[in-house]
Chains A and B, each alone.
Chain A
Amino acid sequence: MNSLVIYPEAIEQAIAQLEQWLQHPHPWQNYRLTPRSLALLLLQKDPQLWDACPPDFPQRLDIEHLILETQEKLSEPLSLAIAQTRQQQAQHLENQALLITDTPRLSFVEHLHRLTVNPLTGFPILLLILYYGVYKFVGEFGAGVLVDGIEGFFEEQINPVVDQITSQLIPWPILQDLIAHDYGIITLGIRYAVAIVLPVVATYFLMFSLLEDSGYLPRLSLMLDRLFKILGLSGRAVIPMVLGLGCDTMATMVTRTLTTQRERLIAAFLLSLAIPCAAQWGVILGLLAQKPAALLVWGGVIFAIFLGIGYLTARLLPGTSGGFYMEIPPLRLPKLRNVLIKTWVRMKWYFWEVLPLFIWASVLIWVGRLTGLFDAIIRLIEPIARALGLPQETAPIFLYGFFRRDYGAAGLFDIQQQGALTGNQLVVAAVVLTLFLPCVAQLQMLVKEQGLKNTIWMVVFIIPFAFFIGYVLHLSLTLLGVNF
């Protein structure tokens, strides 16, 4: 094979020497590598190949020695010299094949790019997106219009029918309760999943897909990089966080791609504590929509905790935040087809993820109520609920919140529909539920990404902290005489 790239003399000599040695049996014979590429990867100290080399490989020392020797003949690091040679050859090829027909002037897209990354214009753009995309579209349309419609349909058309059919088919009230009535699989589990959670998640994912495909998110990362530095994160963590506003489980999985373990830990922790998922904040938005001041207090408290706890974590954890490197793709007009397919795929993923959990929750609640175990736990929570100034009916919600906090939020929605909560109580309950752990699936992902020990630390912190903040909030609202 004649080589396309000719490296500097010293490197070519080393390659020739290595090729000669590698004619004999060596530890890398399972890899599909040409002698030349194997030699180059060894010279660049490729970790994977070196890990595969047993310490007693006879030529190991020779090769290490050869690398040092070659390095001494070069003025720049070996890997850099190799990369530069390739880069020059690539440039040369490009120059031959490329014809520039005209130099583009500063286009509209370029102007738009500057507007999105400059904080002076970028923040107003972000606020516009939040107001129209999040508040108007997901909050008012998804959590308001759609939820009301589907929920009403369930309450009026499906639940009575299910109740009636089960009472006719199944003579035992205990089994009836499993399927129908207040906590049944269909009347509660499936209703929560289809009527309350799905519309919110669908509208959020639709908006998120649009933002994704336009190329806005990397620009947001660029703009928020400095803010995120305060939290010990880099701008790269913006995308997992924004994704977390859709689904914390997906987002926790994505923290894997942040560069340092410290950054991954902080991001996973903040996701668990202070980033509500779409189902959750959608429902809360719907609950508090009539009381803008209450909504502002909820948002303010959560945002302050996000910043405050992030700042403290960054101070307490040793290490520095990683650098910010990110390729900024061009701004593009999203293709409707891709946006719709992507939203559909995510919705499906999410729906099949939550539906079994919601059904299981119904079953567990049924078992728990049957055995009296739930009543015992609820009695334990009741004093806490009372301390937060909440009616006793909210105690089960916190228990459900352990399963999924969106399930808890959906339960809150139910109680509020019955008009049983005051504005203050709603805010306090919403804050506590937001701070709670997202759900069983996210907890499992957390164990996978961060290990059992870190996860236990987080849980031990988060649950009392959530109640504590609820208590402080209740106290301050009472002392200040605020009534929403």
Chain B
Amino acid sequence: MDCHRCNSHCGSGKGTPKSGLFKNWSLGLRNQQQPQIPDELTVADAQIALVGMPNVGKSVLFHALTGIYATVSNYPGTTVEVSRGVMRLGEQTVTVIDTPGMYSLLPISEEEAVSKTLLLTHDFASIIHVVDGKNLGRMLPLTLQLLELDLPLILAINMMDEARRLGLALHPEILSQQLQIPVILMAAGLNQGIQELKQTLQQQIPAPPLPLLV
């Protein structure tokens, strides 16, 4: 896998507008420190994370789930920071975290390390491992590593539209049975499979405790 080290970026991950004219008034010398891992991750909402190798469509899925736009491009390494957003899931709100792509749990670049640290230090109600349906064999080793961590995993096999065009068909039930986790076929860019994913999430995330009366 010598595609390991491709972290070419367009830098668009930073496209996130930190708008507001007055924030920049200090001669435009605004603090450009990258938020490593947002502190607010300790809120009470259930949290889920999107993880996976670069260029499998995590940010597209993030957009489909939360409605928040994270820059999406057709090359690996577009996302270099963690983005977070909120989605409605039945009665509750769930915080969704989009992570920079990672190839394995042994990080090679800075952004990969960010994703790994996030996984190892936060409690997630569910982790969605997004993979490219065209290259399943190359993607599954990361699934296996995530399973070794005993994380509440959902395997989202994305880009199935392209896989089908290449003449590939997948049996999700076989994978689901072997890996013992929910497996969903989807094409996030075409909004296919999103509903199914939401239903699966609803089953996996326990209902929130009743609000305390103060």
**Interface positions of A (Cβ within 8 A of B):** 1, 3-5, 30-34, 36-37, 40-41, 44, 46, 48, 79, 83, 86-87, 89-91, 93-94, 96-104, 208-209, 212-215, 217-218, 221, 236-240, 243, 250-251, 253-254, 256-259, 323, 325-327, 329-330, 332, 334-335, 338, 341-342, 345-346, 348-349, 352-357, 360, 440-441, 444-445, 448
Contacts and interface: CB of A to CB of B under 8 A. Distances in A.
Given A98-B136, A243-B11, A360-B28, A338 B72 contact: yes
Contact of B11 (A44, A253, A334, A356): A253
A354 B28 CA distance: 8
9 contacts: A5-B144, A32-B120, A34-B150, A89-B141, A93-B136, A93-B179, A94-B136, A348-B19, A357-B27
Given A32-B119, A44-B106, A212-B10, A345 B140 contact: no
B137 A94 contact: yes
A349 B172 CA distance: 41
Given A40-B148, A100-B167, A104-B166, 20 more contacts: A31-B121, A44-B106, A48-B113, A48-B117, A90-B140, A98-B168, A98-B169, A98-B171, A104-B165, A213-B72, A218-B8, A236-B7, A237-B8, A257-B109, A259-B5, A325-B5, A326-B6, A327-B6, A341-B69, A342-B15
B167 A240 contact: no
Interface in B113-145: 113, 116-117, 119-123, 134, 136-141, 143-145
A contact face: mostly helix, strand, loop, or mixed: helix
B172 A102 contact: no
A102 B167 contact: yes
Nearest to A40: B148
Given A253-B32, A338-B72, A357-B28, A99 B171 contact: yes
Given A32-B149, A94-B136, A345-B15, A352 B21 contact: yes
Contacts, number: 236
B204 interface: no
B110 interface: yes
Contacts of A259: 5, 7, 109
B174 A329 contact: no
Interface stretch (B44-52, B75-83, B85-93, B192-200): B75-83
Contact of B121 (A32, A97, A346): A32
Interface in B21-48: 21, 24-25, 27-29, 32
Contacts of A236: 6-8
B71 interface: yes
B47 to A, nearest CB: 13
Contact of B9 (A89, A215, A254): A254
B30 to A, nearest CB: 8
Contacts of B165: 104
Contacts of B14: 250, 253, 349
Given A99-B169, A240-B9, A259-B5, A329 B27 contact: no
B207 interface: no
Contacts of A212: 10, 12, 73-75
A280 to B, nearest CB: 17
A325 B75 contact: no
A99 B170 contact: yes
Interface of B: 2-12, 14-21, 24-25, 27-29, 32, 54-55, 69, 71-77, 80, 104-107, 109-111, 113, 116-117, 119-123, 134, 136-141, 143-145, 147-150, 162, 165-172, 174-175, 178-179, 189
B3 A91 contact: no
Contacts of A33: 120, 149
Contact of A218 (B21, B75, B122): B75
A292 B19 CA distance: 39
Given A257-B77, A444-B32, A325 B144 contact: no
Contacts of B117: 48
Contacts of A335: 189
B16 A329 contact: no
Q: Of residues B28, B136, B162, which shows the largest number of chain A Cβ atoms within 10 Å of its Cβ? A: B28
